[in-house]
Amino acid sequence: MPAAPSWPHPLLHPAAHVRAQFQRWWQARLPLTDSVTLTQRNVYILPTRPGLMLGVTLLVLLVASINYQLNLGYLLTFLLAGCSLVAMHVCHATLRGLTMHLIATDAVFTGATAIIGINLENRRPSTRFGIGLALLGSSHWSWTDVPAQANATVHVAFKPERRGLHRVPALTAETRFPLGTFRVWTVWRPAAQVLVYPAPEAHAPALPLGEPRAGDAAAAPGPANGDYDGIRAYRRGDPLKLVVWKKAAKADELVSRDTQQVQRHELWLEPHKTGLPQLEPQLSRLCAWVLQAEQQGLDYGLRLAGLDIKPAHGEAQKRRCLQALALCGA
C-alpha cells in the first residue's frame, strides 16, 4: 500500500500530524467486514457545537433561576436537562443495534463513479430516523430512515482514481437525531473489493488489423480497419449484436453481419499495436478497443505480458479482458 497521499507535515502542523497518525492507526485496527452490527463498542458519541451551546444555555438558565430564586425556572432548566439526557440516549440508540450489509459493487471504469450500496437492517420495533452514510472524510451524506423491523438501502458514490482491485473505502454512518446536540457515528471498513478497469480512451483510433488465422491458407492481409460490412441473411442463432438494424428496417427482413468474412482474420489486441509508449495510455486504448470490438460483435483476443486470452466475444470475454487490463502489472 503506498503511503497516505498528503500527510500534514509533523513540524508545520504537529497537531494535525498527530491526529492523522492516530486516525490511521485507529482505522487500521478496525476489522475488515462486509457486514457489521453496531454495538456499544463501535458507536461513538460526542456533543456537537449546538450541544455545547445547549450546555451553556442550561448553565445560564440555572444561574438565572438561582439568582432570581425562580422555582419555575429550576423546573424549566431541569426538564430541559432531562430532555437532553434522554436525547443523548435516543441519539446513541439510533445507531446502536443497527446492522449494515455491503451490497456487492459492480466493476467500474477509472474516473467513473462507483455506487456502493449499503443495506441497513433494523430489527427494533421502532423506526430509526435520520441516519446518514458517507465515505470517511467526505461530506456527501446520503440520508435515510430505517423503518421498524425492516431494511433500507443507501447508495454512496465513490470515484476510484486508479485502476486495479481496490478495497471499498472506509465508510462512516452518523446521526444527529433527535435534537442535533450530539453526533453519534461509527467507522466501518468493508472487506469487499471493487475492480476498477482502466478508463477507456475517449476518441480511440479504429481497431488494429487482424492477423491471419493460424493455419489459414489464404493469409492475405485483412480488410481495412473497421471495414466489416459484408452481410448475409439472418440465421437462427445469430447474436442480436450482429443484426444490422438499419438495413433490417429498410429491407423488412433481418440481415446479419457476415462474421465469417471478418473472422478470416483474428483480431488480437496487444499493447504494442497501440503505438503508445507508456503502459497506462496503452491500457486505456486497449480498453476502448475491447469495448469497440465487443460492440461490433467481433471476436477478439488480448495479449498482455504473460497472459493470452483467446479470441471470442460476448459479455464473459469482455469481462475477462477488462479484468486483465485492470490488473495488468499489479
Partner 1 sequence: MLNLLHHLRQLPRDSRDTLFLLGVIAWVVLPQVSHLPLWCSLLSGAVMLWRGWLAVTLRPLPARWWLWLLLVLTVGATLFTHKTLLGRDAGLTLIVVLLALKTLELRARRDAFVVFFLSFFMMLSNFFFSQSLLTAGAMLIALLGLLTALVNAHMPVGKPPLLQAARIAGSMTLLGAPIMVLLFLLFPRLAPLWGVPSDAMSGRSGLSATMQVGTIASLALDDSIAMRIRFEGAPPRQSDLYFRGPVLSSFDGRSWQPLRSGLPARMRPLPNLQVQGAPINYQVTLEPNQRPWLLLLDATPNAPLLTGFEARMTPELQWLVERPITDLLRYTARSYPDFSHGPLRPVAGLQDYLELPFGFNPRTLQLAAELRRDPRYAADDGTQLIAAVLERLRSGGYVYTLDPGAYGRDSADEFWFDRKEGFCEHIASSFVILLRALKLPARVVTGYQGGEQNPVDGFWTVRQSDAHAWAEVWLNGRGWVRVDPTAAVAPGRVGSLQRLQAPRGVITEALLGNVNPALALNLRAVWDAVNNRWNQSVLNYTQRKQLNLLKNLGFESPSWEDLIYLLIGIVVLASLGGAAWTLWDRLRQDPWLRLLAQAAKRLQKAGVQLAPNSPPRRMAEQLSAQLGPEHPAARRIGDWLLRLEALRYAPPAARRSRLATLQHEFKRLHWPT
Q: Are 166 and 114 in contact (CB under 8 A)?
A: no
Of the pair 126, 295, the CB lying nearest partner 1 is at: 126
Three-state DSSP at 157 gives: strand
User: By CB under 8 A, is residue 139 in contact with partner 1?
Assistant: no
Residues 74-103 that bind partner 1 (CB under 8 A): 74-76, 78-87, 90, 101
CB of 78 to partner 1, least distance (A): 4
CB of 1 to partner 1, least distance (A): 20
The DSSP symbol for 32 reads: B
CB of 246 to partner 1, least distance (A): 46
Per-residue x/- track, 6-35, partner 1 (CB under 8 A): ----------------------------xx
CB of 139 to partner 1, least distance (A): 14
Task: Report the interhelical angle of 315-327 vs 279-295 (nearest 10°).
Answer: 180
CA dist., res. 296 & res. 172, Å (int): 43
Determine what percent of the chain falls in helix, strand and coil, rounding each to the nearest 5: 30, 30, 40
- Residue 162: what residue type? R
Per-residue x/- track, 57-76, partner 1 (CB under 8 A): x--xx-xxxxxxxxxxxxxx
Burial of 172 by CB count in 10 Å (0-12 exposed, 13-18 middle, 19+ buried)?
middle
What cell does 179 get? 435534537
Residues 153-182 that bind partner 1 (CB under 8 A): 176-180
User: By CB under 8 A, is residue 53 in contact with partner 1?
Assistant: yes
The DSSP symbol for 3 reads: P
Contact set with partner 1 (CB under 8 A): 34-35, 39-40, 50, 53-54, 57, 60-61, 63-76, 78-87, 90, 101, 129-130, 132, 143-145, 176-180
